[in-house]
Chain A
């Protein structure tokens, strides 16, 4: 059974940093593309980035709204997909979901950016 479990959310001040993790199981992690998607309170879904699979050298892609501030990486030894978020803004407040090829999703972790 495919499982994705996000962690690391919480309250952070504007300008601060936070690192989210997504623990995966039930599939061969290195074979699959992985995505991060977020949802601001009461708003729609926003795709923010992707890590391609090992065959594609784990190349990453980002939405313009987070490019240069957010970094997606993998720890293959831990079957973990990470999202390093720097220079956080109030508008980054959202539930952050990880997903396998935008098909199988975790339950999300809430990030609140507020002073």
Chain B
């Protein structure tokens, strides 16, 4: 199985900060990666797919990059509604695997 190592596991930031979250895959997954936002164990929301394609309706302050084994999610200017937990998901091969999550809270 492909392991997804996500870092950091948590971070504290202020409104307006630039935030970067990283996922590393245990083997190459091309660009078959998505990023999700989840608030309080509600339904996750997909932000990014194919590593860098913004989901329709998602604010442009969210961006994704990377391919192969290293991926990043960047929030260019953190907004109050962005405080949440973020997960990466590889869908290159079965079984799909999520990263462990990054909780973003208020500094």
Contacts and interface: CB of A to CB of B under 8 A. Distances in A.
Contacts of A47: 89, 95-98
B87 A45 contact: yes
Interface stretch (B14-22, B38-46, B57-65): B38-46
Given A47-B89, A102-B34, A107 B43 contact: yes
Among B34, B43, B101, residue most surrounded by chain A Cβ atoms (within 10 Å): B43
Given A44-B87, A45-B87, A64 B100 contact: no
A44 B100 contact: yes
A17 B55 CA distance: 37
Contacts of A46: 98
Nearest to A63: B95
B43 A105 contact: yes
B91 interface: yes
A95 B42 CA distance: 9
What DSSP secondary structure best describes chain B's contact surface?
loop
A25 B96 CA distance: 25
A105 B94 CA distance: 20
B43 A97 contact: yes
Interface string A67-88: 0000000000000000000000
B1 interface: yes
B41 A95 contact: yes
Nearest to A101: B91
Nearest to A110: B41
Interface in B1-53: 1, 34, 36, 38, 41-46, 49
Given A44-B101, A45-B87, A62 B95 contact: yes
Contacts of B45: 105
Contact of A103 (B1, B38, B46): B46
Interface in B75-107: 87, 89, 91, 94-101
Interface of A: 35, 37, 39, 44-47, 50, 61-64, 95, 97, 102-103, 105-108
